[in-house]
Amino acid sequence: MTSIFSKFDGIAGALGSLMEAGGRNPFSVVIEKPVSSTVGIIEGRETLLFGTNNYLGLSQSPRAIKAAQEAAATCGVGTTGSRIANGTQSLHRQLERRIADYFGRRDAMVFSTGYQANLGMISTLAGKDDYLILDADSHASIYDGSRLSPAQVIRFRHNDADDLYKRLKRLDGTPGAKLIVVEGIYSMTGNVPPIAEMVAVKRETGAYLLVDEAHSFGVMGEHGRGIAEQAGVEADVDFIVGTFSKSLGTVGGYCVSDHPELELVRLNCRPYMFTASLPPEVIAATMAALEDMAEHPELRTQLMDNAARLHAGFHGLGLNASKQVSPVIAVTLEEIGQAIVMWNRLLDLGVYVNLSLPPATPDSRPLLRCSVMATHTAEQIDKAIAIFKQAALDANALPAAA
């Protein structure tokens, strides 16, 4: 009899060698207790958190915590239903109104996670005979949405507006709508797309544009509305998708749009229709965190200053770190073995980052992915840089000259 698990033999072997090389399973790190937004207890030790996507530190917002407590006390802890059945309370509609208003859009849909927001919007918008045009380095939620859609799916080269144009031109004369999907900040590398050029391609070819601002919401733009705001092209973006689980520190996803047909998407979108809605305390905490974000634009200035400090520190060590400054800073290593040793040394020495291994990385090389927070202090960042130096030396991952 064939084992139903035999398909996992390859990954079992890879995990075995990963643990043999480093002593830990990097995919089962437990944060035993969050001490603050920037420090958690891991393996009984206070550890600096540089891999949590909690860009503004709002997971620990006192206002959001209080709002969650009050909502749980007055509304209970769950909705026990989906958005189109018994799972919409007035809080859900309030949050949708506030998110739509924040973006200056006609309407918003709130999903239970950011993953589901991409899954739902992409699979529902792109129907049979339509075309989905995806950046090659798209997040798994975008690829999974494309698999759930009956549309034809075409990849273009990462951040390459000319390649996007070429692939759309090949579709000249084909019936069916074309939906381009790009991200505001690419989650693995911190790369930022040339969005104005992509908007020009969209206009010339008559395509629709969906921008996933999961990592750029709260981070880029004067009001934190993301890359489209920063580049001044919001009017050309048909759909903005995002998540509450990064800058706002809670959980949930959304899509905002000026297209009135968004109301009809609600009735065709399976990842929206067939899952339980967010519990009241999460909705209340998210609205409170949105107020924090709106009232404290200095958090974004601090975040970018912190990102620049870590970025400069890594380049000063001679590490192969991301070229652009963004709160996602990835250090690329040449060998998987090196990355495993270095990641383990970092944790031994008190810094938590994300270990990303191919094929979850854009090329065949491993990444140590860091995310910076507005609440990191200069001392914490400098300590992290010093620990990176030691770990890189221990892993033999610094260039000879450094």
Under the rule (CB under 8 A), what is the footprint of another protein? 136, 146, 152-155, 157, 167, 170-171, 358-359, 364
What contacts 85, CB < 8 A, 6 or more positions away? none
Give phi and psi for 34, each to the nearest 5: -75, 125
CB of 157 to another protein, least distance (A): 7
- Nearest-CA neighbor of 158 among 122, 209, 198? 198
Identity of the residue, 93 or 170, whose beta carbon is nearer to another protein in the bound complex? 170
Identity of the residue, 44 or 359, whose beta carbon is nearer to another protein in the bound complex? 359
CB of 153 to another protein, least distance (A): 4
CB of 140 to another protein, least distance (A): 11
What contacts 387, CB < 8 A, 6 or more positions away? 48, 346, 349, 350, 351
How big is the chain, counted in residues?
402
> Which residue carries 């609440």 as its tokens?
375
CB of 363 to another protein, least distance (A): 8
**Cβ-contact 182, 214 below 8 angstroms:** no
Identity of the residue, 152 or 268, whose beta carbon is nearer to another protein in the bound complex? 152
Identity of the residue, 141 or 146, whose beta carbon is nearer to another protein in the bound complex? 146
CB of 152 to another protein, least distance (A): 4
Element spanning 364, H or E: none
Buried b (16+ CB within 10 A) or exposed e, 221-233: bebbbbbbbbbeb
Identity of the residue, 126 or 372, whose beta carbon is nearer to another protein in the bound complex? 126
Q: Which long-range contacts (CB under 8 A, 24 or more apart) does 91-99 make?
A: 91/280, 91/283, 91/284, 91/287, 92/277, 92/278, 92/283, 94/283, 94/287, 95/283, 95/286, 95/287, 96/254, 98/287, 98/290, 99/254, 99/256, 99/290
Task: Give the C-alpha distances (Å, rounded to integers) separating 390 from 23, 93, 322, 345.
Answer: 18, 50, 20, 8
> Which residue carries 């949930």 as its tokens?
252
CB of 147 to another protein, least distance (A): 8
d(CA 125, CA 178): 10
CB of 167 to another protein, least distance (A): 5
**Cβ-contact 386, 333 below 8 angstroms:** no
Identity of the residue, 104 or 150, whose beta carbon is nearer to another protein in the bound complex? 150
CB of 150 to another protein, least distance (A): 9
Identity of the residue, 206 or 359, whose beta carbon is nearer to another protein in the bound complex? 359
CB of 265 to another protein, least distance (A): 22
Identity of the residue, 45 or 166, whose beta carbon is nearer to another protein in the bound complex? 166
Identity of the residue, 157 or 259, whose beta carbon is nearer to another protein in the bound complex? 157
